[in-house]
């Protein structure tokens, strides 16, 4: 990621749906533990790329199951952006997810369809 391209809020909630759901993987990247809960993202669907990575794309009426991670600090978000190759393989976007019957604003990594193509 190029310096200065993406802002880093003080804390953010993040919806994860792929490799980051492995808490040991998340810890290796951030060196922190975060509160999590199961969550659902509406109007997106999950695919697996030819590179083997899961990614999501907008898809009206579809849902993606994942985890809501709360209180991700700016330094951890920067490390996660680097891991996800944000602005090349994935784009971090604001979304609303449902967890425990409540709606939460958060961010999610959406796949760059120009690079991440689905497996046939």
CB 81 within 8 A of CB 6: yes
Instruction: Report pTM.
Output: 0.89
Contacts of 66 (CB under 8 A, 6+ apart): 15, 16, 17, 18, 21, 38, 39, 40, 41, 97
User: Nearest 5°: phi and psi at 21?
Assistant: -70, -15
Cα separation of 43 and 64, whole Å? Answer: 8
Q: Specify if 100 maps to a domain.
A: yes
Q: Specify if 120 maps to a domain.
A: no
Q: E strand or H helix at 79, and its extent?
A: helix 74-83
The count of structural domains within the chain is: 1
Q: Specify if 116 maps to a domain.
A: no
Q: Specify if 89 maps to a domain.
A: yes
For residue 64, the domain's CATH number is 3.10.490.10
Q: Specify if 1 maps to a domain.
A: no
Q: Specify if 118 maps to a domain.
A: no
Q: Specify if 99 maps to a domain.
A: yes
* Domain that includes residue 42, residue range: 11-111
Q: Specify if 6 maps to a domain.
A: no
pLDDT tens digits in sequence order for the chain, 120 residues long? 444 456 666 899 999 999 999 999 999 999 999 999 999 999 999 999 988 889 999 999 999 999 999 999 999 999 999 999 999 999 999 999 999 999 999 999 999 988 888 776
């Amino acid at each position: 990621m190029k310096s200065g391209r993406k802002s880093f809020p003080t804390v953010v909630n993040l919806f994860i749906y792929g490799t980051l759901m492995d808490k040991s993987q998340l810890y290796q990247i951030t060196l922190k533990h975060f509160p999590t809960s199961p969550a659902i993202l509406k109007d997106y669907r999950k695919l697996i790329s030819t590179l083997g990575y899961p990614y999501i794309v907008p898809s009206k009426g579809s849902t993606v199951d994942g985890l809501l991670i709360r209180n991700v600090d700016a330094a951890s978000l920067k490390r996660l952006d680097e891991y996800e190759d944000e602005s090349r393989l994935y784009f971090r976007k604001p979304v609303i997810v449902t967890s425990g019957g409540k709606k939460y604003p958060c961010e999610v990594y959406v796949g760059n369809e120009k690079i991440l193509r689905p497996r046939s």
